[in-house]
Amino acid sequence: MKDPVCGSEVSEKSESITYNNKEYRFCCASCKWAFEKNPKQFVGEEK
Binding site for Zn ion (CB under 5 A): 3, 5-6, 8, 27, 31
CB of 33 to Zn ion, least distance (A): 10
CB of 47 to Zn ion, least distance (A): 26
- 27, 35 contact by CB (below 8 A): no
Dihedrals phi, psi of 40, to nearest 5 degrees: -60, -30
CB closer to Zn ion out of 38 and 47: 38
SS3 of 4, please?
A: coil
CB closer to Zn ion out of 2 and 40: 2
Residues paired with residue 17 on neighbouring β-strands, in sequence order: 24
